Amino acid sequence: MNHTYAEETSSVGLKLDTDKAFFPDIESNSGHEEQEVGSAPQRQRRRHSTIFGWLPRVNIGFFSRDPRHHVPHLIAPIRPLLLRSSFFLLPSFLQSRIRRRRPFCSTLPENQKKKDKERHDEEPRTLSPTAYLDGMRGIAAFSVFLCHYFYTCFVIAEGWGSGGSNYHFLKLPIIRLFYSGPPMVCIFFVISGYAISLKPLKLIHSASCSSGSSATAHADERNYSKLLETLSSLVFRRGLRLFLPPAISTFLIVLLLRLGVYEWNREFASDENFLRNVQEIHYERFESATEQFVDWTYAMLNFVHLWDWDAFAGSTGIDVHLWTIPVEFRASMVLFLTILGTARLNRGIRRGFVLGWCGFAFLWERWEMCLFWMGMVLAESDVIREMRARGEQEERVQGGFAERNGGRGGVLPVVEPVLARTGDVMPQQRRHPQRHPQETTARGPDISSNMTIVGSGDETSHESHQPPTPSPPTTAAAGRPLPAGITLFPTVILVVSLYLLSQPDIYSHLTPGWITLTSLIPHWWTEHYRFYQSIGAVLFVYSVSRYPSSSDSPSGSSSHPLSVAGSCSPNTGPTTAVPIFSSILNPKTLFESSIARHLGKTSYAIYLVHGPVLHTLGYTVMKFTWTRVTGTETDKQYVTGFVLASLAVVPLVIWVADVFWRGVDEPVVRLARRLEERVVVGIGE
């Protein structure tokens, strides 16, 4: 049968089919036998309108369906693999959009199709109470990448006005945080301490609340048994979670080096005409592959550095940015020991011990350990407030039932205004307020169940399919609106914390606004810039946690703490609060945005891959813009070339991190859990 094909042949021999196609169509049919091509009207009816609909179909050997083509017979066996690999390389946010359009038409195996269908059906509806920490971690990781990108070309460590110069507005306090790496590391450590201690602390407080009665002795024992199980799991998986992804990323660097990719920019990496500030170590290429892999092996053995507290002892020339990972491992092990040692103490005594250790560590310049312990303190504060809010909510529910049974009114007019004033529950929760205390007992700690933190050991979704539990950041524990004077408190603390985080890395004693503060730093502190940055990191995480979440208000939109609380009547319910400032000023809204949360999911990958991406693709793009487009003769040309290169370098880092997250980071988490399931035994076995 003769068929008419509307095709054009390019100068390089590629056939451009004017019939439009989009990727899921190709993917869905790639595993089938070659089918008879219909007439032009039939092909027209098979068109679909998607985001890929405007692209012409390129009939080359890998993807052509034309039976007359000479290559498909050779490629056909591996074409499904090539298509799946191509689809995998798409950013995850594009994949999700495509799957929503045609979620299950793919060449994936049936079990993978089932997983995709379940993922599609279980799209998250609400944010977890700790989703903002995910976003905070993601933005911090992005700032670390920008720091390592900017400091190769510009002096960014000095503060505004230091030494009688440096008067660019980008060096002003708070503004400079956008590209400052050291304060972001401090924020990382506070969040990590919070994340890995939150679930154990919930179990500790559950056991403490259930003790003191013979009827609840078994529940008390079960809670402490669960605590031991949780700590054992966290300790077991911590090493794999932290060290296996860097081992893979550095191994990939070695492969790129042996393939000659690093040699593209060997001269550029040390050329002061282009990189005018910092020239990072460009990993050396050995004469033989054996020597190269032996060097990588020794570097990884040194990287798993457990034997002293030198901050940079585990640093490796393969990727100089990874020094924080051994530090985090050591600090997390000490934190687990702290939780275990204080588990049966009174909470006031436990908090006193931990705060005392924080002060002791700070005096000895162990700022990283101080930040982890302060993360534990902040986590316990949130646990206590949550338990108080739940207990008082349960009392009000019981009081409502008592009033109803006494004939003085129904339960809803009593409970509804109280829950509405807290601003911490969704509308569907108000219809069943009595459900939450029971669910809390059954499910255990749910404030941490959906938290995703770098290296926390519990990499789960940062969003919740359940209605969010009442979070107490911006309301009094009893459900009453906070007085106006108290609502100013988180904003004042936030501004102070941002200023302290902006401490210059060098020459702070010569920087206006920091001369007096620097003189107060103890003389034995060698890293002056860590002093106020550490304090600022703790205050920053604390202040942001006191702002309302975007899921706190019934409308689903967040409100600023500087607002006039609406009146609430038992008959009419709550009225809308009148904000003094726009909700855009709420920092928690920023950290709960979809962009921030995506950066949070990929933050560990961003941290691991931004170095090799900069040394390969990044330097290539920068060299091209300066040598072929703008030049470097004047400062204007130099900056223009840098900005143009950034338009490609930044998306490249985000894309490679997304692929690494799905291809390495998530599988490592699953591997650690499966390994634990295989080797762990129950108590008494």
Instruction: State pLDDT tens for residues 355-408.
Output: 999 999 999 999 999 999 999 999 999 999 888 888 777 777 776 655 665 544
Q: Which strand (E) or helix (H) includes residue 126?
A: strand 126-127
Domain that includes residue 592, residue range: 127-679
Sign for the pseudo-dihedral over CA of 134, 138, 139, 140: positive
Residue 645 lies in a domain: yes
Residue 127 phi, psi (nearest 5)? -85, 150
Question: Is the same domain home to 158 and 175?
Answer: yes
State which of 90, 123, 156 marks the end of a domain: 123
Tell me what pLDDT residue 401 has.
56
Instruction: In whole angstroms, give the CA distance from residue 287 to residue 285.
Output: 7
SS3 per-residue string spanning 185-239: HHHHHHHHHHHHHHHHHHHHHHHHHHCCCHHHHHHHHHHHHHHHHHHHHHHHHHH
Residue 33 lies in a domain: yes
Give me the residues of the chain with pLDDT under 70, please. 1-77, 79, 99-125, 208-220, 399-487, 551-584, 682-685
Question: Is the same domain home to 215 and 331?
Answer: yes
Tell me what pLDDT residue 310 has.
80
Residues 233 and 676 sit within 8 Å (Cβ to Cβ): yes
Nearest-Å Rg of the Cα atoms of the chain is: 29
Residue 555 lies in a domain: yes
State which of 105, 123, 141 marks the end of a domain: 123
Tell me what pLDDT residue 459 has.
40
Question: Is the same domain home to 71 and 192?
Answer: no
DSSP result, 601-661 = HTHHHHHHHHHHHIIIIIHHHHHHIIIIII-SSSHHHHHHHHHHHHHHHHHHHHHHHHHHI
Question: Is the same domain home to 620 and 529?
Answer: yes
Question: Is the same domain home to 537 and 620?
Answer: yes
Question: Is the same domain home to 116 and 179?
Answer: no
Tell me what pLDDT residue 386 has.
87
Tell me what pLDDT residue 307 has.
82
Copy the structure tokens of residue 683: 């108590």
Q: Convert the pLDDT of each residue in 327-345 to its tens digit.
A: 999 999 999 999 999 999 9
Residue 362 lies in a domain: yes
Per the structure, the count of domains in the chain is 2
Question: Is the same domain home to 365 and 455?
Answer: yes
Residue 274 phi, psi (nearest 5)? -105, -55
Residue 175 lies in a domain: yes
Instruction: In whole angstroms, give the CA distance from residue 308 to residue 310.
Output: 6
Question: Is the same domain home to 11 and 56?
Answer: yes
Looking at residue 245, its amino acid is P
Question: Is the same domain home to 462 and 576?
Answer: yes
Question: Is the same domain home to 455 and 472?
Answer: yes
Question: Is the same domain home to 324 and 379?
Answer: yes
Residue 684 lies in a domain: no
Residue 556 lies in a domain: yes
Residue 1 lies in a domain: no
State which of 123, 157, 175 marks the end of a domain: 123
What are the C-alpha distances in Å from 537 to residues 122, 185, 186, 503?
A: 35, 9, 6, 11
What are the C-alpha distances in Å from 554 to residues 425, 428, 498?
A: 7, 9, 30
Residue 32 phi, psi (nearest 5)? -95, 165
Copy the structure tokens of residue 510: 């010569």
Contacts of 493 (CB under 8 A, 6+ apart): 539, 542, 543, 546
**Helices (H), ranges, 259-323:** 289-303
Copy the structure tokens of residue 184: 């972001």
Question: Is the same domain home to 68 and 139?
Answer: no
DSSP result, 437-491 = HHHHHHH---SSTT---TT-S----SEESSPPPP--TTB-TTSPBPPHHHHHHHH
Greatest CA separation for the chain? 90
Residues 187 and 535 sit within 8 Å (Cβ to Cβ): no
Map residue 41 onto helix, strand or coil.
helix
